[in-house]
Chain A
Amino acid sequence: MIEAIGLTKRYGERLAVDDLSFTVKPGQVTGFLGPNGAGKSTTMRLILGLDAPTSGAVTIDGKPFAKVAHPMREVGALLDAKAIHGGRSAHNHLLCLAQTNNLPASRVGEVLDLVGLREVAKKRSKGFSLGMGQRLGIAAALLGDPKVLMFDEPVNGLDPEGILWIRNLMKALAEEGRTVFVSSHLMSEMENTAEHLIVIGRGRLVADCTVQEFIDQNSELTIRVRTPERDRLAALVQAKGAAAAHDGDDALRITRLGMTEVGDLAFDNGIRVHELSPIQASLEQAFMELTKDSVEYHAAVPGQAPAPADAAQINAALATRQGDRS
Chain B
Amino acid sequence: MTTATTSALGGLTSLPPASGRAGFGGALRSEWTKIRSLRSTMWTLGCAIVVTIGLGVLANWGRAHGDDASAARLAQEDLTQRTLFGIIFGQLVMVVFGALAITGEYATGMIRTSLTVQPRRAPVFWAKLLVVTALAFVVGEIISFTSFLISSSFWRAKGISLSLSSPHAMQAVVGGGLYLAGSAVLAFGLGAILRHTAGAITAGVGLLFVATILANFLPQTWQNHFDKWLPFNSGGQVWATQHVVGTDLGAWSGFLVFMIYGAVFVALGSYLFRKRDA
Contact surface of A with B, Cβ cutoff 8 Å: 45, 48-52, 65-66, 68-73, 75, 77, 79-80, 82-89, 92-93, 95-97, 99-104, 106-107, 110-111, 113-114, 140, 142, 144-145, 161, 164-165, 168-169, 171-173, 175-176, 178
Interface flags for B187-212 (1: CB within 8 Å of A; 0: not) read: 00000000000000000000000000
A142 and B113: CB pair below 8 A?
A: no
With A100-B27, A140-B113 known as contacts, the answer to whether A72 contacts B22 (CB < 8 A) is yes
Q: Which B-chain residue is minimally distant from A111 (CB atoms)?
A: B12
A145 and B14: CB pair below 8 A?
A: yes
Complexed CA–CA distance, A85 and B4 (Å)? 28
How many residues belonging to B are interface residues under a CB distance threshold of 8 Å? Answer: 48
Interface stretch (choices B37-45, B85-93, B213-221)? B37-45
Residue of B10, B15, B40 contacting most chain A CB atoms (<10 Å): B15
Interface residues of B in 1-37 (CB under 8 A from A): 1, 4-16, 18, 20-22, 25-27, 29-31, 33-34, 37
B9 and A145: CB pair below 8 A?
A: yes
The answer, yes or no, to whether B277 is at the interface (CB within 8 Å) is: yes
A50 and B112: CB pair below 8 A?
A: yes
Q: Which residues of B contact A140 (CB under 8 A)?
A: 113, 117
Interface flags for B102-141 (1: CB within 8 Å of A; 0: not) read: 0011001111111111111000100000000000000000
Contact surface of B with A, Cβ cutoff 8 Å: 1, 4-16, 18, 20-22, 25-27, 29-31, 33-34, 37-40, 104-105, 108-120, 124, 277-278
With A65-B119, A80-B112, A83-B112 known as contacts, the answer to whether A70 contacts B8 (CB < 8 A) is no
B30 and A99: CB pair below 8 A?
A: yes
B119 and A66: CB pair below 8 A?
A: yes
B1 and A165: CB pair below 8 A?
A: yes
Question: Count of A-B contacts with CB under 8 A?
Answer: 149
B8 and A172: CB pair below 8 A?
A: yes
The 13 listed contacts between A and B (C-beta, < 8 Å) are A66-B119, A83-B112, A84-B109, A85-B110, A86-B108, A95-B33, A96-B31, A96-B33, A100-B30, A100-B117, A106-B13, A114-B11, A165-B1
Complexed CA–CA distance, A96 and B27 (Å)? 9
Q: Which A-chain residue is minimally distant from B113 (CB atoms)?
A: A83
Complexed CA–CA distance, A176 and B12 (Å)? 14
B119 and A101: CB pair below 8 A?
A: no
Q: Which of A50, A68, A88, A172 is within 8 Å of B38, CB to CB?
A: A88
Q: Which B-chain residue is minimally distant from A137 (CB atoms)?
A: B113
A51 and B278: CB pair below 8 A?
A: yes
Q: Which residues of A contact B30 (CB under 8 A)?
A: 96-97, 99-100
Q: Which residues of A contact B115 (CB under 8 A)?
A: 48-50
Q: What's the nearest-Cβ distance from chain B to residue A251, in Å?
A: 43
A85 and B116: CB pair below 8 A?
A: no
* 7 closest A-B pairs by CB: A172-B8, A83-B109, A92-B37, A96-B33, A99-B30, A51-B277, A99-B29
A107 and B116: CB pair below 8 A?
A: no
Q: Which residues of A contact B16 (CB under 8 A)?
A: 104
